[in-house]
């Protein structure tokens, strides 16, 4: 996360990621950082215990890298961002994942994204 945030109860679903500061339109809110975020090979999934697989399916998002599917696990509060069709964060174009504020966001507001814009596993998650 590039901004201060916290995890709280979400009226959208379970837990959500909330802004702990005002955020300006166009500001970078989250960006993939290999020092914190993990790329997990999908082919490695069966090697994990069932409880870990369930966790990864809940909190990872699917991407394509080098012609194969991988799972990305955010190492910060971003893993709790919930989906909406009217998100306050947008996916920035480019090779590295990046969320930018679609509009001004007030402190205390839930940070939301549109899973259909980046997650290969969106159909399973939004059932």
Averaged confidence pLDDT in the chain: 93
Dihedral pair phi/psi, residue 117, rounded to 5°: -80, -15
* Domains, the chain: 5-122 (2.170.270.10)
CA separation for the pair 39, 110 (Å, rounded) = 26
pTM: 0.91
**On the CB side of 61, how many CA atoms lie within 13 Å of its CA?**
22
- Give the model confidence (pLDDT) of 43-92 as tens digits: 999 999 999 999 999 999 998 888 899 999 999 999 999 999 999 999 98
Tell me the HSE value of 47 on the side-chain side, using a 13 A CA sphere: 5
Q: For residue 57, what is the enclosing H or E element?
A: helix 50-59
Percent of the chain exceeding pLDDT 70 equals 97
pLDDT band of 122, cuts 50, 70, 90? confident
Query: CA–CA separation, 120 vs 116, rounded Å?
Result: 8
Helices (H) and strands (E) in the chain, counts: 2, 10
């Amino acid at each position: 996360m590039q901004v201060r945030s916290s995890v709280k109860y979400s009226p959208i679903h379970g837990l959500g990621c909330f802004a702990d500061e005002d955020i300006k339109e166009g500001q970078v809110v989250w960006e993939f950082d290999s020092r914190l975020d993990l790329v997990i090979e999908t082919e490695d999934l069966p090697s994990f215990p069932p409880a870990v697989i369930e966790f990864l399916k809940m909190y990872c998002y699917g991407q394509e890298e080098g012609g194969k599917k991988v799972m990305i696990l955010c190492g910060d509060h971003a893993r709790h961002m919930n989906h909406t069709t009217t998100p306050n964060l947008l996916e920035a174009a480019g090779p590295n994942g990046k969320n930018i504020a679609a509009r001004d966001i007030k402190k205390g507001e839930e940070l939301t994204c549109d899973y259909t814009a980046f997650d290969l596993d969106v159909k399973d998650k939004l059932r």
